[in-house]
């Protein structure tokens, strides 16, 4: 104890230097939680789960009290919508059949492979105000690996950045460190959807590097382009809210309203292995993405749709 008292300052300086070094070394490498983190996670995550379940329940009760009046009207509306969608769905499934038949004829690999998904609950959010990451209650025990895509039924949420034994960390697409290669479904224009500090709290993000001559406009659906290693093609990201031309006049950026309501995520799906012949599928999809880049760029001017 005496030793500590005499060299208190030196010890703290040494510790500080070690911590800084450690943070530099582990930056970007922290994909699998180490032993200590795992042990801590083992204790903390069940409690976090409990706590967020309880707060979610209480919040839901409070919300339901105030919303009860609107429910009846909403119910009617939804019923009408369900009928409409059912009809639409039938029509679309006919298209799918037809598509399958035609693709078989063309002997093309499936463009949108089916994925096996792992369900998980959101148990905690980043306590700070700078970043948008959260924890889910599925980890290595359920087969979650870093760089898997996390989504809700409406669209993508983000990707797994780190996995622990019974939890994983998800970086949402609103986080300023996230970037997703994206494409406008209507025009085929490519771009990159980035998180932005100034838009994060409003639940919006930016699509950057859009060609100035592209005809992208408000309301266009933005999907993942498949140029990235992480995100498979064709997953909905969101809808264009506003298109702005950059100061240099050469490129545009668009404000994107994600399809997912980021304020109220409680359960998510983690996309795992592709179903079926994964290896050959991967190869062909890789070839496809290579091919789709020039073709999508060529389509830009014509304003055609993506193949």
Partner 1 sequence: MRRVITLAVVLFLNLILQSTVLQHIAIIGVVPNTALIIILSMALLRGSTEGAAVGLFAGLLQDFFFGSSIGYYAFLGMATGYIAGKFNKGFYRENYLMPMLLTFLATFCYESSIFLTSVLFRGHLNYLYFLSHIILPEMVYNTVCTIVIYRILFSVNSATEEKEKFKRRLFSIK
**Tokens 């997703």 belong to which residue?**
180
Residue 28 Cβ, how far from partner 1 at the closest point, in Å? 7
Output DSSP code: residue 32: B
Residue 224 Cβ, how far from partner 1 at the closest point, in Å? 22
Q: Which CB atom, from 11 or from 84, has the smaller least distance to partner 1? A: 11
Q: Which CB atom, from 30 or from 111, has the smaller least distance to partner 1? A: 30
Element containing residue 62 per DSSP (H, E): helix 35-106
User: Which residues have C-beta within 8 Å of that of residue 297, sequence separation ≥ 6?
Assistant: 190
Q: Which CB atom, from 176 or from 251, has the smaller least distance to partner 1? A: 176
User: Which residues have C-beta within 8 Å of that of residue 175, sequence separation ≥ 6?
Assistant: 131, 132, 133, 158, 195, 200
Q: Which CB atom, from 25 or from 102, has the smaller least distance to partner 1? A: 25
Residue 286 Cβ, how far from partner 1 at the closest point, in Å? 28
Q: For residues 208 and 14, what is the distance between their CA atoms, to the nearest angstrom?
A: 43
Residue 282 Cβ, how far from partner 1 at the closest point, in Å? 28
Q: For residues 76 and 65, what is the distance between their CA atoms, to the nearest angstrom?
A: 19
Q: Which CB atom, from 137 or from 300, has the smaller least distance to partner 1? A: 137
Residue 271 Cβ, how far from partner 1 at the closest point, in Å? 22
List of residues contacting partner 1 (CB under 8 A): 8, 12, 15-16, 18-30, 33-34, 36-37, 40-41, 43-44, 47-48, 51-52, 55, 59, 123-131, 133, 135, 161, 169, 176-177, 197-198, 200-202
Q: Which CB atom, from 5 or from 69, has the smaller least distance to partner 1? A: 5
Label residue 122 exposed, middle or buried (CB < 10 Å: 0-12, 13-18, 19+).
Answer: buried
Residue 261 Cβ, how far from partner 1 at the closest point, in Å? 15
Q: For residues 74 and 70, what is the distance between their CA atoms, to the nearest angstrom?
A: 6
């Amino acid at each position: 104890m005496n030793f500590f008292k005499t060299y208190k300052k030196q010890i703290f300086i040494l510790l500080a230097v070690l911590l800084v070094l450690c943070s530099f070394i582990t930056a970007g490498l922290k994909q699998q939680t180490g032993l200590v983190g795992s042990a801590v996670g083992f204790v903390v995550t069940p409690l976090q789960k409990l706590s967020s379940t309880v707060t979610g329940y209480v919040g839901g009760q409070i919300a339901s009290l105030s919303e009860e009046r609107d429910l009846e009207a909403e119910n009617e509306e939804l019923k009408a919508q369900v009928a409409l969608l059912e009809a639409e769905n039938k029509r679309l499934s006919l298209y799918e059949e037809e598509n399958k038949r035609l693709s078989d004829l063309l002997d093309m690999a499936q463009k949108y492979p089916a994925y096996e998904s792992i369900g998980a609950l959101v148990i905690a959010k980043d306590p700070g105000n700078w970043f948008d990451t959260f924890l889910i209650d599925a980890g290595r025990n359920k087969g979650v690996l870093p760089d898997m895509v996390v989504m809700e039924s409406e669209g993508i949420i983000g990707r797994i950045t780190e996995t622990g034994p019974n939890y994983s960390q998800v970086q949402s697409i609103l986080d300023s460190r996230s970037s997703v290669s994206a494409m406008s479904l209507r025009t085929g224009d490519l771009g990159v959807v980035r998180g932005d500090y100034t838009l994060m709290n409003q639940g919006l993000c930016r699509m950057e590097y859009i060609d100035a001559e592209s005809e992208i406009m408000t309301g266009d659906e933005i999907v993942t382009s498949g140029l990235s290693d992480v995100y498979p093609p064709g997953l909905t990201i969101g809808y264009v809210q506003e298109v702005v031309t950059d100061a240099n006049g050469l490129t545009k950026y668009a404000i994107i309203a994600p399809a997912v309501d980021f304020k109220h995520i409680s359960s998510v799906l983690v996309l795992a292995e592709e179903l079926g012949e994964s290896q050959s599928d991967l190869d062909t999809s890789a070839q496809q993405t290579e091919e789709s880049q020039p073709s999508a760029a060529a389509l830009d001017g014509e304003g055609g749709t993506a193949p």
